[in-house]
Amino acid sequence: MNKIHVMDEILANKIAAGEVIEKCSSVVKELVENSIDAKSNKIIVDLVNAGIKEIKVTDNGVGMAKEDAEICFLRHATSKIKNDNDLYFINTLGFRGEALPSIAAVSNIELKTCEKDIGTKIEVSAGKIIKSESCEARKGTIFKVNDLFFNTPARLKYLKSESSELANISNLMEKFALSYPNISFVLTNNQKRILFTSGSGNLLNTIYEIYNKEISSNMIKIAGENDDYEIYGYICKPEILRSNKNFMHTIINGRIIKNLEINKMIDDAYYTYKPEGKFPIVVININTDPTLIDVNIHPTKQDIKFSKINSLKELLITLIKKALYQNLLIPKMENKKIFDVNNQHFENKENHEEFNSVEIKQQNILPTDINLVKENQEEFNFSKNQNFEEVKEHTHNETIKKLELYPVGLCLGTYIVAQNDDGIFLIDQHAAQERINYEKYKKSLKSKVKGKINLLIPITIELSPSEFLRIKENINILEDMGFEVSDFGINTIAIKSHPIWLKSGYEEESIRKIIDIIQIKNQDFSSEAFNEKVSKTLACKMSIKANTNLTIEEMESLLTELVTCDNPYNCPHGRPTIITFTKYELEKMFKRVMD
C-alpha cells in the first residue's frame, strides 16, 4: 500500500492559509492590495465585530469578467505574472495567486464584480464555489468575507480580542493611506467610522488626517535621489518621538515593508538628536528599479532584500541628517486644547454616497511620552555598525543665530532664561555645555594633528592587576589619542604628556574615565565608536552641573558657543538643550489674546 499520496486542493489551501492568513488584518491586507492593483481610487473596508464576523472590502477598480471571477479562487491563479522573467519586474502588490484561495479555504465569501456592463456574483464556502450567477452592474468589486476560520477552530481560538484585531486592522489601513495618498480610504467597524482619508494626493495632508495637527505640523520634508534610489517623504522633529517603532513607515515601490536594516539607518541618522529607546515618526517612500529588490522572501511579502544596500544607506542617512541640520528644532511649549473625538455613525449603504463628502476630523491623538532615558543607563557598543558621520555639506545654523537671544537670568539653578522679540527661551545649561564640549572633543579626537602638553610632574594612576594588563594590551589606543604612557612601579602607569583638549584642572579625572572605557572594549573594536564614547562621557562629566550659578557674561558666552554647534538643539544623549514659549502662547495663557 502506498504511503505517499497527493493532498487534495482544499486541504492544501487550508495549509497555505496558515502561512498567509494569520488574523483578520491578513485578510484585509490581501483584499486591499488587490483593490490597489485594480487601480481603485476609493476603497472602503467595513467590519463587523472587528472582522471576526465579517470583512467587506468595496472598491471602484477595473473589476473582473465572470470567467476571471471563477478562476481567481484557484491556487496560483494570477493576472500579475506569466513567466519566470516577470519575477524580476514585479510592479504589483500581489503576484503569487495564493491569497484568495487561502482566504476562501477558511471562510465563506461573497464576491460581486463587474467588467464593462456585466455584473457577476460568486459564492464560495470552505474553498468550493457553490453559486455563480449574474448580478447588478456597478464599477469595481465587493469582497465580503464571513465567519473567518469557521472550519479551523484551532486558528479561530487563537484570534485575539476584538479590540486587538481592530487595532491591527486600523494600523494596517493607516499604512495603506500613507503609502497611497492619492487613494481615499474608509474604515468602519459596526457602522462606526474609524478612519477616513480624502485621497487628495498630498502626503502631508494624509499625515494630518491620520494623526493630527501636532504631528503633521512637526514634520520635515525630505527628497533626493542617486543612480539607484529615489527617496521622498517626511520625518519628524525630535520633539515628537515615540517609544516604539510602529510609527516608522517605510514604503518600497508602493509596498509597505518592515526592514530592520532600513529602521537602523533611520535610527542612526537621528543619532544625538534623540535619547536611546525613542524612535522617530517617519513616512519614507523609496522608489527603485524592481530588479534591485527581491520581494519574494516572505509569505506575507512584508520584508524584502536589497542589492546595492550601501547606496541606499548613504542617500537615506544623508537626506535625514541634512533635513535635521537645516531646520530650527527648538520645541515650542504650546497651550494645547483637549479634543473630544467621537466616531460618526452612518448608514452602511452599498455604494456609500457619503464617501465623496465626508467631514475630515482629528483622530488618533497620541500621548507624548516624556520619560527620558537616564544617561547612566546608556549602553554602548564599540562595533563598526553604528553610524557617527556628520552631514558632509553643512549650511551653517543661520536660523538659530538670527534669533539673537539675550540672557536675563537663571531659574532653579539650572535653566538660563533668555528672550527676544518672539518670546522666552529656556536653556538647560548642563545639556547646552555638554553639546558644546561633545563637539569639541569629537573634533579633536578626529583631527590628525595631535597637540600635546608635556608634564613637568607625570600623573601617576594606580590600577588593579587586571586593569593594568588590559591597559598594557591596549596601550596603542592611548598613544593614538596623544598620551605618552610608561610603567611606574607595580600595576601603576605614569602619564608624561597628554593631548591639549583635556580640560584644565580635570586631567586625572578625564584620564581615569578614558581608562574605564578601554576596560569594556570588545573584539569588534572601532576607533570611531570608541572616540564617540569618549566624547560623550567626557562632555557629560566636564560640563556645568545643576545648581551652578552663572554670570550674565558666562550665559552670553555659552549661548554664543551653542548656536555655532552642528546640532545646537540636543545634548549628545538626545535630550533638548533649548525650548521656547512664544509670545503668542504666553499672551494666550494670560488671556491677553482670545481665540
Q: Is residue 152 part of a domain?
A: yes
Cα separation of 238 and 321, whole Å? 12
173 and 232 inside one domain: no
Q: What is the extent of the structural domain holding 407?
A: 376-451+500-581
* Domain count across the chain: 3
145 and 236 inside one domain: no
Domain end marker among 128, 160, 195: 195
pLDDT of residue 239: 86
Q: Judge whether 321 and 391 are in contact, CB under 8 Å.
A: yes
Q: Three-state DSSP class for 138?
A: coil
Q: Is residue 19 part of a domain?
A: yes
Distances (CA, A) of 534 to 16, 398, 479: 53, 29, 15
179 and 216 inside one domain: no
pLDDT of residue 62: 87
166 and 306 inside one domain: no
Q: Judge whether 559 and 506 are in contact, CB under 8 Å.
A: no
Query: Phi and psi dihedrals of 425, rounded to 5?
Result: -125, 135
Q: Is residue 345 part of a domain?
A: no
Q: Is residue 131 part of a domain?
A: yes
Q: Is residue 475 part of a domain?
A: no
Cα separation of 516 and 541, whole Å? 13
The full 3-state SS of 253-318, as one line of letters, equals CCEEECCHHHHHHHHHHCECCECCCCECCEEEEEEECHHHEECCCCCCCCCCEECCHHHHHHHHHH
pLDDT of residue 377: 38
Q: What is the pLDDT of residues 270-323, one digit of tens each?
A: 988 888 888 999 999 999 888 887 765 555 556 678 888 899 999 999 999 999
Q: Is the pTM of this model over 0.85?
A: no
115 and 155 inside one domain: yes
- Bin 196: left if φ > 0, else alpha if -120 < ψ < 50, else beta: beta
Domain end marker among 135, 167, 195: 195
Distances (CA, A) of 483 to 267, 427, 471, 515: 34, 35, 13, 12
Q: In sequence order, what are the beta bridge partners of 135?
A: 119
Q: Is residue 365 part of a domain?
A: no
pLDDT of residue 407: 92
132 and 250 inside one domain: no
pLDDT of residue 20: 55
pLDDT of residue 430: 93
381 and 519 inside one domain: yes
pLDDT of residue 362: 34
Residue ranges in the chain whose pLDDT is less than 70: 1-20, 75-97, 154, 295-303, 333-397, 523, 595
Question: Which residue from 243, 399, 249, 276 is spatially nearest to 329, judged by alpha carbons?
Answer: 399
pLDDT of residue 393: 45
Cα separation of 452 and 502, whole Å? 10
pLDDT of residue 372: 31
Question: Which residue from 262, 216, 218 is spatially nearest to 237, judged by alpha carbons?
Answer: 218
106 and 246 inside one domain: no
Cα separation of 11 and 13, whole Å? 5
Q: Is residue 139 part of a domain?
A: yes
Q: What angle do CA 96, 8, 151 make, to 5 degrees?
A: 85
pLDDT of residue 75: 62
Instruction: Spell out the alpha helix ranges (H) of 327-420.
Output: 398-401
Residue 565 maps to which CATH number?
Answer: 3.30.1540.20
pLDDT of residue 89: 47
166 and 234 inside one domain: no
Q: Is residue 59 part of a domain?
A: yes
Cα separation of 235 and 225, whole Å? 16
Domain end marker among 170, 195, 220: 195
Q: Judge whether 513 and 537 are in contact, CB under 8 Å.
A: yes
191 and 216 inside one domain: no
pLDDT of residue 339: 40
